Structure 1
Amino acid sequence: MNDGVVRTAERVLDLFQGARLTPTQRRIAHCLVEHAAKAAYLSAAEVAELAGVSQPSVTRFAMALGYSGYPALRRELRALSSDAPSEPAGQNTIQRAVLAETEHLRRLADDLHRLDDVRAAAALLAASRPLPVLGLRAAAPLAGYFGYFASKVFPDVRVLDTGGTGLQDRLDQARAAGAGAMLAIVLPRYPRESVEAVREAKAAGFAVVAITDSAVSPIADTADVVLPAAVGTQLVFDLHTGPMAMAMVLLEAMCDAAPEAVQSRLEEFEASATRRNVFVV
């Protein structure tokens, strides 16, 4: 995709953020994002054919997003396409990619004007002992980052960053030890193992909080709480600035959910780190 098409795709994706979509509706949403350059000029029948669904499904999809029907949604898609900003003069590809991340963060900030989902997720995770944190492949570093800081204030945080046959064993062990919730960080290209692990966790009785890139992620319908944060797609490999910010927002809310215990553990950590001369400053 060129930069203009990428921006149009991101605008189309924004239409679906926060929407609770069925698997069929997610297929339609993926189709519209994939064909963002021409989506505004496709008929309902053409969208149905591209997505492999029925034409009435496309109409129901538009209504699920709050539109009177597909024609109203198509008008919105055309408006998004025509309003796409032109290329900034004098900026190279790298600058545009980095500046796009500021736009992702701005949109994330707008989405966080209501913190109901973040607080609900924080309450589930803060109460779980132990607390498993799933992140495979591209999401593994972010799972480790979250786990590093979370372990300073919550006992027994278990980062699950490797797959294979042992992953289910570690989930079973966490459940047997008393875990009631799991944080799953699942980012494109959505590892099959991650999706299957979330399903297994749900079947085992875990409440699942998901940090993922959009409301049409493959785990959006499985998780109890979904916290979407867009990834940057303008470089060879994705930028995860948004998901990292969301992870730290979630951890902040978890700390707010148990302030006295968090403060006590922070003081214990600082005393231990000072005694062991862990840090230079």
Structure 2
Amino acid sequence: MSDTQRATVGTPREAGASARLHRLFEGRRLTPTQRRIAHCLVRQAAAVPFLSSVELARLAGVSQPSVTRFAFALGFDGYPALRRHLRDVAPDGTGVDGRSNNRYQQAVQAEIDNLRQLASLLADPGPVERAGRLLAASRPLPVLGLRASAAQARGFAYFTAKVHPDVRLLDEGGSMLADRIDAARHAGASALLCFALPRHPREVLDALDHARDTGLTVVTIADGAFAPVAAHSDLLLPAAVGTGLVFDTVSAPMVLGQVLLEAMCDALPEAQARLEEFDARAVARGLFVN
């Protein structure tokens, strides 16, 4: 990456331009390459409206066709139309809430907004409480998460194993995934929890269809009510992801996962006893330093 690419917005004029550029990307699903171009636009807000597509591609470290596809993704007829728009929005202005916010602050603010939206959704606790009861009653409990969702599934499975007697993590795809779902069902599982965050692997849809065919009730935490997994789930719990950085930020889905685990604990009579037993073992083993 060149020194030009590393330059950040410095003056209030530039910060205002970057804020208006960010609004151009809001609510759009961009690929990592397209996000890289978007970040270059923000960092070089004053210069970009006068650059050719080749020059912008060089600055962003991408190919020229990628710049053209980026313009189409934003709804323009091509890069010339996008550049004309950039000339209109690039002059002076202020950032979010009248302040000169840089792109890192804006990404954090977007996550705060996602958490506020989640808090609003949880004003009706019914869906989460129902999901908690379904998952608590499943013995064993398979927890599915592939690719970008694997970390969320793994973290949920780690904590859930402290209060649930049999949690089975499914974080690897391939031909054996259906076998592992079958094994869980044959062992007595009645429900499956899936974390499905962008980008959505086709394999997840196939796995959810297979799980439902075996008789499992599928509960899914996804990035929105209209995510591709919605039609493949029995109960969907939405939590928005942040798209302001090159890769998604997932604070809201992580919090929702912990909220769901809380609802499971309420439905597991033995949860407190299991936690106390684990704490006693941890002290005996000197497992933690605090």
Q: Under a length normalisation based on structure 1, what TM-score does the superposition of the two structures give?
A: 0.71
Structure 1 residues 8 and 232 mapped into 2: Cα distance closer, same or farther (>3 Å)? closer
1:276 aligns with 285
The answer for the alignment partner of 2:217 in structure 1 is 207
Distance 1:204 1:2, change over 3 A: farther
- 1:147 matched residue in structure 2: 157
CA distance in 1, matches of 2:221, 2:235: 9
Q: CA RMSD in A?
A: 2.1
| Structural mapping, 1:1-281, within 5 Å | 2-7=21-26, 87-88=95-96, 89-258=99-268, 260-281=269-290
CA distance in 2, matches of 1:140, 1:123: 23
Question: Aligned in 2, Cα 1:116/1:6: closer, same or farther, shift over 3 Å?
Answer: farther
Tell me the TM-score normalised to structure 2 length: 0.69
The answer to whether the Cα contact below 8 Å between 1:9 and 1:37 also exists between their aligned partners in 2 is no
Distance in 1 separating the partners of 2:21 and 2:201: 26
Question: Does the 8 Å contact 1:121/1:209 carry over to 2?
Answer: yes
8 A Cα contact 1:8 1:37, kept in partner: no
- Residue 87 of structure 1, CA deviation: 3.3
Q: Secondary structure at the residue paired with 2:139?
A: coil
Figure out how many residues of one structure are paired with residues of the other and give that number.
Answer: 211
Counterparts of 1:195 and 1:87, CA distance in 2: 40
C-alpha distance 35-215 of structure 1, shift in aligned 2 (>3 A):
farther
Contact 1:118 1:250 in 2 (8 A): yes
Cα distance in 2 between the residues matched to 1:36 and 1:119: 39
Cα offsets for 1:51-73 (capped at 9, x unmatched): xxxxxxxxxxxxxxxxxxxxxxx
Runs of 4+ aligned structure 1 residues displaced above 4 Å come to: 34-38
Q: Judging changes above 3 Å, is the alpha-carbon distance between structure 1 residues 278 and 145 closer, same or farther for their aligned structure 2 residues?
A: same
Residue 6 of structure 1 deviates from its aligned partner by 3.4
Contact map agreement 1:5 1:37 (CA 8 A) in 2: no
Alpha-carbon separation, structure 2, partners of 1:139 and 1:108? 18
Gaps of 5+ in 2: 1-19, 30-71, 77-93
Secondary structure of residue in 1 paired with 2:172: coil
Which ranges in structure 1 are unaligned for 5 or more consecutive residues?
11-33, 39-85
Q: Give the Cα–Cα distance (whole angstroms) in 2 for the partners of residues 123 and 6 of structure 1.
A: 39
* Cα distance per residue 1:193-243 (max 9 Å; x no partner): 111101110011000000000011111122111000000001000001111
Q: SS where residue 153 of structure 1 aligns? A: coil
Q: In the aligned structure 2, how far is the partner of 1:185 from the partner of 1:3?
A: 28
Distance in 1, matches of 2:281 and 2:27, equals 51
Q: Cα 1:253–1:36, aligned 2, differ >3 Å: closer, same or farther?
A: farther
- Structure 1 Cα separation of the partners of residues 245 and 212 of structure 2: 34
1:211–1:227 contact (8 Å) kept in structure 2: yes
DSSP-derived class of the 1:189 partner: coil
Report what 1:61 is aligned to: none
